[in-house]
Amino acid sequence: MVSPYTQKLLKIPVIVKNGELVLAIDQKPLPKFSEGASFEILIDPTHVPNKSRLIEIEDGEVVPFLPIGTKLLAQVNPDKVPKELNDFLHKSPNRIEKCALVEITLDGDLYIHLRTGRKSTLMDVSCSSPFLEGREDPPAAVSINHAYSLISTHFEPYRKSNTGNVFDKVFYQSNKDGNWASLRTLRDEIQQARKTAADTQTSKQNGLF
């Protein structure tokens, strides 16, 4: 089952005029988009003279992951959190045991870049957290990874490296049962759903011949 947050995307027809993308409807410049917006371009490969920079992403797909306003919880070690930050810790929800949790809020829609045979990656999105106010300038992160790194820096200052796999360290609340699950769980669900859809489409096409 695809993420319940998946939503219909707007299809914008464009053409190239004097080397620039313009609206196909009136051949005027494209409208302005929100900062950090992500989208993909579909094009006949014969119209791309130099494909060297596109090889890395040609088999990829960017799809919705979580919507703006979603509350996430980042996991930190509960044993050495500085006392002045204790008020920013949440009680561990069911199934997230032996850890402390720090809230993150998505300030934009979060997308994931799915790539065949390679690791999927989360696209950049502005994130905020109550503890960042007065501690970081600006008081927001530019991605989930950046948010987790800032949280680890403040809540786990003893660590030599303040990085981690956010698919395992960050949790979201599932609409299906209300339980908290890792981002890896949601990523795997989306990947499996799209694989199933692709297999079904291939099967239908094969049935035509």
* Whole-number CA gyration radius for the chain: 21
Tokens representing residue 113 in the block: 């870049």
Supply the pLDDT for residue 74. 94
Instruction: Tell me the per-residue pLDDT of 92-141, one tens digit each, with 9 for 90 and over.
Output: 776 677 789 999 999 999 999 887 666 889 999 999 999 888 888 888 89
Tokens representing residue 169 in the block: 């360290």
- Does residue 6 have a pLDDT over 50? no
Supply the pLDDT for residue 2. 45
- Do residues 23 and 32 make contact, with C-beta atoms less than 8 angstroms apart? no
Supply the pLDDT for residue 4. 45
- Does residue 3 have a pLDDT over 50? no
Instruction: Tell me the per-residue pLDDT of 50-81, one tens digit each, with 9 for 90 and over.
Output: 766 555 444 568 899 999 999 999 999 888 88
Supply the pLDDT for residue 25. 86
Q: Where are the domains of the chain?
A: 64-190
Label the pairing between strands 14-17 and 100-106. Answer: unpaired
Supply the pLDDT for residue 8. 58
- Does residue 209 have a pLDDT over 60? no
- Please list, in sequence order, all residues whose beta carbon lies within 8 angstroms of the beta carbon of residue 123, skipping any fewer than 6 positions away: 38, 62, 110, 111, 112, 113, 143
- Please list, in sequence order, all residues whose beta carbon lies within 8 angstroms of the beta carbon of residue 104, skipping any fewer than 6 positions away: 71, 72, 73, 74, 127, 128, 129, 141, 144, 147, 148, 151, 170
Number of H helices, E strands in the chain: 3, 11
End-to-end alpha-carbon separation of the chain, Å? 29
- Does residue 142 have a pLDDT over 60? yes
Q: In a 10 Å sphere around its CB, with 0-12 CB exposed, 13-18 middle and 19+ buried, how is residue 158 labelled?
A: exposed
Tokens representing residue 205 in the block: 């096409």
Tokens representing residue 95 in the block: 């199934």
Instruction: Tell me the per-residue pLDDT of 143-196, one tens digit each, with 9 for 90 and over.
Output: 999 999 999 999 998 888 888 899 999 999 987 778 899 999 999 999 888 777
Mean pLDDT, all residues of the chain: 82
Q: Is 60 helix (H, G, I), strand (E, B) or coil?
A: strand
